[in-house]
Structure 1
Amino acid sequence: MIHTQLGRTGLRISRLVLGTVNFGGRVEEPEAHRLMDHALALGVNTVDTANTYGWRVHKGHTEEVIGRWLAQRPGRRDQVVLATKVGDPMGDGPNDQGLSARNIVASCEASLRRLGTDHIDLYQMHHVDRSVGWDEVWQAMDLLVGQGKVRYVGSSNFAGWDIASAQEAARRRHTLGLVSEQCVYNLVTRHAELEVIPAAVANGLGVLVWSPLHGGLLSGVLRKTREHDAVKSAQGRAAEALARHRDTVEAYEKLCAEHGTDPAQAGLAWTLERPGVSAAVIGPRTEQHLDGALAALTTPLPEPLRAGMERLFPPIGRGGQAPDAWLS
């Protein structure tokens, strides 16, 4: 496994991050524990979750699953970079969501209890909350860092200007501020290239990519459908996107076949090669899925395949960063 520093910090994370959104409902607890065992054995030292994950059972279920796994073996917690998130609704009350100081602190305490640990390595704001001022957000986060309950703070699904605003407020307080941004980025959805990734790099943030295969759209969905093997790729965002991009996806799968490469491996390898990307958050349902992701990390894309992928899924505008991407 290849490890890298997370942005401007000294924290080293695996370039593949084990995402846990499928735990509970799609991956039951015994298999989830086996997946985490397998990931750790392969050197995947970073586990990403959120306080709302596991909602198919109940919100918080996934953190509980991870907590029971951590408790199985002494010393395991020290081997893992543990990331979770705050901000999405955890209840029906008016203060059960968002980035108020009250909710940040209360949610952290609840996550620590479910995870069975005394600290969170990377505490991420799940979405920006523009109804709350940054001084309030940083007051809460600085409190948690000062208490030793949080090591680093990250963002998720922020715009480029949100990252800049958050960092400017942190600088005024003479604190570290954000160390990472977790954003959606893949061949189909390349908007992050315009401002989010440039803003992250300019401010010293690592970039964690979620949905590197667009919810399974780039994993060989047409072949899997023919073979009656499509699960995640036949649902949700991938199914909606397939209706719009079927011809392109068909050409993509044909291109990968011509190069003897699995579509999922090619799509993930492309994302991991992109400038500014620290790691990809993957959501495997089986150990075999995890092994396939590892192959994407260790097998460079042949240039003819990479060029063909760029032709099928071109960047926005002229490519590159805004505003140059928009210039005609």
Structure 2
Amino acid sequence: MDYRRLGRSGLQVPVLSFGTGTFAGKGPLFEHWGQTRGDEADRLIDICLEAGVTLFDSADVYSDGDAETAFGAAIRGRRNRLMISTKLGLPMGEGPNEAGTSRHRILAGTDDALRRLGTDHIDILQLHAFDAGTPVEETLQALDMVVRSGKVRYVGVSNYSGWQLMKGLAVADRYGYPRFVANQVYYSLVGRDYEWELMPLGAEEGVGALVWSPLGWGRLTGAVRRGRPLPDGSRLHDTADLGPPVDEERLYSIVDVLDQISAETGRSIPQIAINWLTTRPTVSSVILGARNERQLRDNLGAIGWALSEDQKARLDAASVTPAPYPYFPYRRQAGAARLNPPMV
């Protein structure tokens, strides 16, 4: 397993990590993701640890906290062998203080997560969404409190825009609060919006990407094909409208290239899609989501080999999208790279 620094921190994380969104399976979204717990959860964690996957990601909203509880039970007795990443900030109830990133919410939410996980510290705590109603200074001060207390070791964000992340970094620098070193982002061959603003920001400011949904909300498994209905049992029947939007014709063009490269390499379509992500700038770790041992073992096969430059170029060409404003004007002008050299 290859290890990389998480942004500009000293923490080394595996290039592949494991997401526990499939644990417990409670609620209108997560019941379709998976219902892993007990012996099955133990087995998946065993496989991860054997492969060198030592970072596990969760969130308080996953199955209303039950995913953290199921994960905490599964790692009992081996906490020192792994790192825990979790998130808070999205609504956990109807109460006025059960959502957001206020001091009250962060302090209470951290203690609740520690209790569910059965641990005394969280390695990476991420804010799950930007809270426009709470001063950034209050949020960063609360994160400073949980870091100084030893309950949290590193902090990050998820689903932030560029200006929101940059404002947080500026406040942290101004007052000496812990800087965000992780940005958990949606990024895949069918969703490359991360590249326009958040990727160069991460490179400049030392914020590493933890990639969620690397298979495009389940669309890059090889099961979704041009001219065919969704296969029976696909979770897309129930969750497609809840995830990132995808242009279907572009998806099919990407799958065509993935098919070609699969034939050339003998690798599965998910393995190729995940491997491509591991080569991208600022990516510290790609979070795998697997409902069973077969899926997990296949995804773990995404590393230990390399795509050729030609294969990467073909994937890039099939998946590229037009640059949005304000990026497209200078991308089209001769000599534009003198001012803004492209990262990818």
TM-score (norm 2): 0.85
Match of 1:64 among 69, 73, 85: 69
Q: Aligned partners of 2:322, 2:272: CA distance in 1, in Å?
A: 20
Q: 1:228 to 1:322 in 2, by over 3 A?
A: closer
One-letter amino acid matched to 1:172: R
Partner residue, 1:194: 196
Aligned to 1:201, the other structure's residue is in SS state: helix
Deviation digits for residues 238-284 of structure 1 (CA, Å, limit 9, x no counterpart): 79637454542552353234424321111111111111111101101
Q: What is the 5 A alignment of 1:141-290?
A: 141-222=143-224, 228=231, 231-232=234-235, 234-237=237-240, 241=246, 243=248, 245=250, 247-259=252-264, 260-290=266-296
Letter in 2 for 1:7: G
Work out which of the residue numbers 40, 55, 58 in structure 2 matches 1:46: 55
Taking structure 1 as reference, are residues 130 and 263 closer, same or farther at Cα in structure 2, changes over 3 Å only?
Answer: same
For the residues of structure 1 that align with 2:158 and 2:230, how far apart are their CA atoms? Answer: 35
Cα distance change, pair 78–219 in 1 and its aligned pair in 2 (3 A): same
Tell whether 2:84 aligns with 1:82: yes
Alpha carbons 1:160, 1:200 under 8 Å: kept: no
The 2-side partners of 1:264 and 1:127 are apart by 28
Paired with 2:81 and 2:274, the residues of 1 have a C-alpha distance of: 25
Deviation at 1:317, TM superposition (A): 2.7
Partner of 1:308: 314
Report the alpha carbon displacement of residue 98 of structure 1 after superposing the two structures with TM.
0.5
Alpha-carbon separation, structure 1, partners of 2:230 and 2:190: 24
Task: Return 5+ residue gaps in structure 1 as ranges.
Answer: none
Q: Is the 8 Å Cα contact of residues 18 and 39 (structure 1) preserved in structure 2?
A: yes
Out of 27, 36, 41, the position equivalent to 1:28 is 36
Q: Using a 3 Å threshold, how does the CA distance of structure 1 residues 327 and 289 change in structure 2: closer, same or farther?
A: farther
Residues 78-87 or 224-233, more deviating: 224-233
What is the TM-score normalised by the length of structure 1?
A: 0.89
Aligned residue in 1 for 2:342 = none
**Structure 2: unaligned runs, 5 residues or longer:** 26-33, 335-344
Identical-residue share of aligned pairs (%) = 34
* CA–CA distance in structure 2, aligned partners of residues 232 and 170 of structure 1: 40
CA-based RMSD of the aligned residues comes to 2.5
Aligned length: 320
Q: 2:107 aligned to 82, 85, 105, which one?
A: 105
Residues 47-93 of structure 1: CA deviation (Å, up to 9, x unaligned): 00000112xxxx0001101111122x2xx111111011010111110
| Contact 2:220/2:255 (<8 A) preserved | no
Query: Does the C-alpha gap of structure 1 residues 278 and 239 become closer, same or farther in structure 2, counting only changes over 3 Å?
Result: closer
- SS for the counterpart of 2:96 is coil
